[in-house]
């Protein structure tokens, strides 16, 4: 303690206070560069890795959403096709239309074409 009081007596309080602040600033700078900077660098690397993983998960979610939309669309189309098939089968049964194995019925227009051909066959047979 006597050393500090003699230094203040010899050099003055402002000079000793400036030296004390200089040491304090040096101590803080050394602590930040040796202790804090490495931890911040490591945390930055971890943060970058987490951001990359979040982006990958986001891309996976987008792909899964697209696949789900495709499945739902296909399911809806399949239901529509089943309804069409049932309707066409009912028409075939109601009108006693004979369809060969090679003839395919995809729509009502195909069924009309087969029906016309069937009617032509029957009219030719009667004549």
Over residues 85-123, the pLDDT tens digits come to 787 777 777 776 666 655 666 666 777 777 777 777 777
Q: In this structure, are 17 and 48 located in the same domain? A: yes
> What's the structural domain count of the chain?
2
Domain assignment present for residue 74? The answer is: yes
Residue 65's pLDDT band (boundaries 50, 70, 90)? very high
Q: In this structure, are 42 and 76 located in the same domain? A: yes
Greatest Cα-to-Cα distance within the chain, rounded to the nearest angstrom: 141
Residues 98, 118: contact at Cβ < 8 Å? yes
pLDDT for 104 equals 64
The b/e string for 66-90 (b: 16+ C-beta within 10 A; e otherwise) is eeeeeeeeeeeeeeeeeeeeeebee
Q: In this structure, are 55 and 112 located in the same domain? A: no
**For the chain, what percent of residues have pLDDT higher than 70?**
85
Instruction: Give the range of the structural domain holding residue 123, as residue numbers without chain letter.
Output: 97-127
Burial class (CB in 10 A: 0-12, 13-18, 19+), 37: exposed
Domain assignment present for residue 5? The answer is: no
Predicted structure pTM score: 0.47
């Amino acid at each position: 303690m006597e050393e500090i009081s003699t230094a203040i007596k010899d050099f003055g309080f402002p000079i000793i206070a400036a030296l004390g602040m200089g040491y304090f600033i040096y101590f803080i700078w050394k602590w930040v560069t040796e202790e804090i900077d490495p931890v911040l660098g490591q945390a930055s690397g971890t943060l970058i890795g987490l951001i990359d993983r979040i982006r990958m998960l986001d891309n996976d979610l987008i792909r899964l959403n697209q696949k789900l939309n495709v499945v739902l669309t296909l399911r809806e189309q399949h239901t529509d096709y089943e309804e069409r098939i049932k309707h066409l089968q009912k028409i075939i049964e109601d009108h006693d239309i004979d369809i060969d194995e090679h003839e395919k019925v995809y729509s009502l227009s195909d069924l009309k074409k087969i029906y016309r051909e069937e009617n032509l066959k029957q009219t030719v047979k009667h004549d």
